Amino acid sequence: MRRVVITGFGIVSPIGTGVEAFFDALGQGCNGIAPISHFDASGLEVRYAGEVKEALSFAHEHEQALAERDPKVGFALTAAAEALSMAGVKAFSPDDCIHIGTSLETFFFKEFSVESPSECPEAFFRHLVTHPWRLPLDAALRAIQTRYGRGGQAVTNCSACAVGLQTIGQAFHAVRGGRCSLALAGGFDSMINPLGVGGFQLLGAPALGNPVPGKAFCRPFDASRSGLVLGEGAGFVVLEEREKALSLGKTLYAEVCGYGATLDAHGLSAPDPDGDGAARAMLAALCDAKLLPQAVDHINAHGTGTQLNDPVEAAAIRRVFADTWQKVPVTAVKSMLAFDRRCWIHRGHHLHLHPTARNHPSEYRPRHGGGWVRTDARQA
């Protein structure tokens, strides 16, 4: 069976853009969550988010225009470019594949809602049909292909929270199965707009109001957690067949050994209270990698900071890692980056575990246990 390695990765995040900036901030436990500045959120109860701070620039006018119209396309282009540059890829070959993922198309309702259909119905509906009031889901994919070539198989996935990881898992299986020798994979998103923030507020999942002084706003696995915080950004990797990458003298940053995914289907936004879906996904990944649970020495949790997710995820970890769960370090990157569909890759040659920013033990540890990495980075 072919082995699959990571030869490049790129990142756009609320705590830094670019691999070095991101990992430096991650190791220090920097907080990227701040008051929403993308729009006036004073009329909403959700007022904080993890926004990308840097202004991104692009060499081509059409890329700049796309990024200005839909920021997440710019995030995807930037992270993909960094990953491909690190891997030494200047253009896709017909044997390469592209697997990327995001959440929803972007709609520009304001651009056609200003006209009243009652005043001039024909003009209104003509405008509604012909005006580009939405950006297609595959806009980022097409922008990447315009810059680097069409490649072979190209897929845009939109499976919600797990999309970043699922694109990498699907690309991993494609490389391992011999359907391609190189794949670009990753996730990108931005829902920090009135529709996205308002929609999540209606779900009752986000943290509301303002942070409590001295506490992180997003507090995964904490007894005083108050909800998730929306974020934005992108994370991409280049996957290659190991022997070919070695023959080309490439740096191998990590190896992907297995992948598993399940459909919980318990509720629209509520997980199975027994953690069955999460447990089966972890067991599937271990089976795919032909590894026992005892071989795992770090868990990067979903860790949303919501009342529903965290106890369920902790229960799933205890179930799968029955003999080792009290010793395995668990981290939750959303405490610093907030919640979106990108996929974060831990630097394989950088053997430190990032903290779960300002995660207060309070009564959570005795209730749920585990080796939670709290306020300081830890040597792996």
How many structural domains is the chain composed of? 1
State the pLDDT at residue 103: 84
Please check whether residue 118 lies inside any domain of the structure: no
Q: How far apart are CA 224 and CA 254, in angstroms?
A: 35
Domain containing residue 304: 4-102+137-379
Please check whether residue 124 lies inside any domain of the structure: no
Instruction: Check whether 357 has a pLDDT greater than 50.
Output: yes
Please check whether residue 127 lies inside any domain of the structure: no
What confidence tier does 29 reach under pLDDT thresholds 50, 70, 90? confident
CATH code at 73? 3.40.47.10
Q: How far apart are CA 313 and CA 326, in angstroms?
A: 14
State the pLDDT at residue 112: 53
State the pLDDT at residue 285: 97
Question: What pTM was computed for the model?
Answer: 0.87
pLDDT digits (tens, 9 = 90+) for 152-190: 999 999 888 889 999 999 999 999 999 999 999 999 999
Please check whether residue 234 lies inside any domain of the structure: yes
Please check whether residue 304 lies inside any domain of the structure: yes
Instruction: Check whether 367 has a pLDDT greater than 50.
Output: no
Over range 357-375, report the average pLDDT: 46
State the pLDDT at residue 345: 46
Please check whether residue 129 lies inside any domain of the structure: no
pLDDT digits (tens, 9 = 90+) for 249-277: 999 999 999 999 998 878 777 888 889 99
What confidence tier does 362 reach under pLDDT thresholds 50, 70, 90? very low
Instruction: Check whether 348 has a pLDDT greater than 70.
Output: no
Strand runs (DSSP E) across the chain, as ranges? 4-13, 16-17, 33-35, 48-50, 97-101, 106-107, 134-135, 154-157, 182-190, 232-241, 254-256, 299-300, 329-331, 352-353, 371-372, 378-379
Q: How far apart are CA 54 and CA 56, in angstroms?
A: 6
Please check whether residue 151 lies inside any domain of the structure: yes
Backbone angles phi, psi at 84, to 5 degrees: -70, -40
pLDDT digits (tens, 9 = 90+) for 106-144: 666 565 555 555 566 676 666 656 656 577 889 999 999
* % of the chain at pLDDT higher than 90: 53
